[in-house]
A = this chain, B = another copy of it.
Amino acid sequence: MKKILVINGPNLNMLGAREPEIYGHQTIADIEKLCQKAGKELGFSIDFRQSNAEAEMINWIQESGKFSALIVNAAAYTHTSVAIYDALLAVKIPVVEVHLSNIFRREEFRHHSYVSRAAKGVICGFGADSYLLALKGLKELLDA
Protein backbone atom coordinates (compact mmCIF):
# COMPACT_ATOMS: atom_id res chain seq x y z
CA MET A 1 0.00 0.00 0.00
CA LYS A 2 1.56 3.29 -1.13
CA LYS A 3 1.88 6.07 1.42
CA ILE A 4 1.01 9.66 0.57
CA LEU A 5 1.95 12.61 2.75
CA VAL A 6 -0.45 15.57 2.67
CA ILE A 7 0.99 18.78 4.11
CA ASN A 8 -1.24 21.74 4.93
CA GLY A 9 0.14 25.15 5.76
CA PRO A 10 -0.78 28.08 7.98
CA ASN A 11 -4.36 28.94 8.89
CA LEU A 12 -5.80 25.86 7.21
CA ASN A 13 -6.64 24.65 10.73
CA MET A 14 -9.16 27.51 10.75
CA LEU A 15 -11.10 26.24 7.71
CA GLY A 16 -14.81 26.46 8.08
CA ALA A 17 -14.50 29.43 10.42
CA ARG A 18 -12.16 31.47 8.20
CA GLU A 19 -13.68 33.46 5.31
CA PRO A 20 -16.19 30.75 4.27
CA GLU A 21 -17.15 32.74 1.17
CA ILE A 22 -13.67 31.94 -0.16
CA TYR A 23 -12.78 28.64 1.50
CA GLY A 24 -16.18 27.02 2.05
CA HIS A 25 -17.67 25.54 5.21
CA GLN A 26 -15.66 22.34 5.44
CA THR A 27 -13.14 22.03 8.25
CA ILE A 28 -9.66 20.62 7.84
CA ALA A 29 -10.93 17.50 9.62
CA ASP A 30 -13.68 17.16 7.01
CA ILE A 31 -11.08 17.35 4.26
CA GLU A 32 -8.90 14.77 5.96
CA LYS A 33 -11.88 12.41 6.18
CA LEU A 34 -12.57 12.83 2.47
CA CYS A 35 -8.91 12.18 1.72
CA GLN A 36 -8.79 9.08 3.93
CA LYS A 37 -11.90 7.73 2.25
CA ALA A 38 -10.58 8.41 -1.24
CA GLY A 39 -7.19 7.03 -0.20
CA LYS A 40 -8.80 3.74 0.78
CA GLU A 41 -10.52 3.50 -2.59
CA LEU A 42 -7.30 4.25 -4.44
CA GLY A 43 -5.14 1.98 -2.32
CA PHE A 44 -3.26 4.79 -0.61
CA SER A 45 -2.41 5.18 3.05
CA ILE A 46 -2.75 8.90 3.77
CA ASP A 47 -0.71 10.78 6.36
CA PHE A 48 -2.50 14.11 6.69
CA ARG A 49 -0.87 16.98 8.61
CA GLN A 50 -1.27 20.68 9.19
CA SER A 51 1.09 23.22 10.65
CA ASN A 52 1.29 26.96 11.04
CA ALA A 53 5.09 26.71 11.24
CA GLU A 54 7.26 27.02 8.15
CA ALA A 55 10.04 25.04 9.86
CA GLU A 56 7.75 22.14 10.76
CA MET A 57 6.58 21.97 7.15
CA ILE A 58 10.22 21.91 6.04
CA ASN A 59 10.97 19.11 8.50
CA TRP A 60 8.06 17.07 7.17
CA ILE A 61 9.19 17.56 3.59
CA GLN A 62 12.75 16.57 4.50
CA GLU A 63 11.51 13.39 6.17
CA SER A 64 9.19 12.40 3.33
CA GLY A 65 11.55 9.73 2.04
CA LYS A 66 9.26 6.85 3.10
CA PHE A 67 6.32 8.26 1.15
CA SER A 68 5.52 7.66 -2.49
CA ALA A 69 4.28 11.18 -3.14
CA LEU A 70 3.62 14.55 -1.55
CA ILE A 71 0.53 16.75 -1.74
CA VAL A 72 1.25 20.31 -0.58
CA ASN A 73 -1.15 23.12 0.20
CA ALA A 74 1.34 25.60 1.55
CA ALA A 75 -1.33 28.29 1.97
CA ALA A 76 0.27 31.70 2.62
CA TYR A 77 3.80 30.25 2.52
CA THR A 78 3.12 29.33 -1.12
CA HIS A 79 3.86 32.91 -2.04
CA THR A 80 6.77 33.75 0.27
CA SER A 81 8.77 30.69 1.28
CA VAL A 82 11.99 30.06 -0.59
CA ALA A 83 12.86 27.66 2.23
CA ILE A 84 9.92 25.36 1.46
CA TYR A 85 10.85 25.57 -2.21
CA ASP A 86 14.40 24.51 -1.38
CA ALA A 87 13.11 21.62 0.75
CA LEU A 88 10.90 20.45 -2.12
CA LEU A 89 13.82 20.65 -4.57
CA ALA A 90 15.62 18.02 -2.50
CA VAL A 91 12.64 15.67 -2.60
CA LYS A 92 12.78 12.91 -5.19
CA ILE A 93 9.11 11.80 -5.04
CA PRO A 94 6.41 13.57 -7.10
CA VAL A 95 4.90 16.70 -5.54
CA VAL A 96 1.39 17.97 -6.32
CA GLU A 97 0.44 21.52 -5.33
CA VAL A 98 -3.18 22.10 -4.32
CA HIS A 99 -5.28 25.08 -3.29
CA LEU A 100 -8.90 25.22 -2.22
CA SER A 101 -9.55 28.52 -4.00
CA ASN A 102 -8.50 29.65 -7.46
CA ILE A 103 -5.52 31.74 -6.37
CA PHE A 104 -5.42 33.50 -9.74
CA ARG A 105 -8.72 35.27 -9.05
CA ARG A 106 -7.51 36.71 -5.76
CA GLU A 107 -4.99 39.41 -4.76
CA GLU A 108 -2.04 39.94 -7.09
CA PHE A 109 0.47 38.69 -4.52
CA ARG A 110 -1.25 35.29 -4.49
CA HIS A 111 -0.59 34.74 -8.20
CA HIS A 112 3.03 33.74 -7.69
CA SER A 113 3.89 30.37 -6.14
CA TYR A 114 7.31 29.08 -5.14
CA VAL A 115 5.76 25.63 -4.74
CA SER A 116 4.77 25.49 -8.42
CA ARG A 117 8.42 25.69 -9.42
CA ALA A 118 9.06 22.38 -7.66
CA ALA A 119 5.76 20.63 -8.33
CA LYS A 120 4.86 18.05 -10.94
CA GLY A 121 1.39 19.52 -11.27
CA VAL A 122 -0.95 22.14 -9.81
CA ILE A 123 -4.65 21.87 -8.97
CA CYS A 124 -6.64 24.77 -7.57
CA GLY A 125 -10.16 26.11 -7.23
CA PHE A 126 -12.08 22.89 -6.59
CA GLY A 127 -12.41 23.29 -2.82
CA ALA A 128 -11.82 20.01 -0.98
CA ASP A 129 -12.03 18.26 -4.34
CA SER A 130 -8.66 19.77 -5.20
CA TYR A 131 -7.15 17.23 -2.78
CA LEU A 132 -9.15 14.33 -4.19
CA LEU A 133 -8.15 15.20 -7.74
CA ALA A 134 -4.54 15.35 -6.58
CA LEU A 135 -4.88 11.85 -5.15
CA LYS A 136 -6.41 10.60 -8.41
CA GLY A 137 -3.69 12.30 -10.41
CA LEU A 138 -1.04 10.64 -8.24
CA LYS A 139 -2.78 7.26 -8.67
CA GLU A 140 -2.25 7.51 -12.42
CA LEU A 141 1.25 8.88 -12.04
CA LEU A 142 2.46 6.25 -9.59
CA ASP A 143 0.84 3.40 -11.54
CA ALA A 144 2.48 4.52 -14.76
Give chain A's interface residues, CB within 8 Å of chain B: 9-11, 13-14, 17-19, 51-56, 58-59, 62, 75-77, 79-83, 85-87, 89-90, 102, 104-105, 109-113, 116-117, 119-126, 129-130, 132-133, 136-137, 140-141
Residues of B within 8 A of A19 (CB): 89-90
A82 touches B85 (CB 8 A): no
> What is the bound-complex CA distance between A19 and B52, given in angstroms?
27
**A54 CB contacts on chain B under 8 angstroms:** 52-55, 83
B90 touches A117 (CB 8 A): no
Query: What are 8 pairs between A and B in contact, CB < 8 Å?
Result: A10-B58, A10-B87, A11-B90, A18-B90, A51-B55, A80-B83, A102-B116, A102-B119
* Copies of this protein, total: 12
- With a CB–CB cut-off of 8 A, which chain B residues contact A136? 132-133, 136
Nearest CB in chain B: distance from A117 CB, A: 6
A75 pairs with B83, CB closer than 8 A: yes
Instruction: Report the nearest B residue to A101, measured CB to CB.
Output: B121
Q: State whether A58 touches B62 (Cβ < 8 A).
A: no
Q: Which of B112, B125, B140 is the one whose CB lies under 8 Å from A120?
A: B125
Contacts of A62 in B (CB 8 A): 11, 13-14, 52
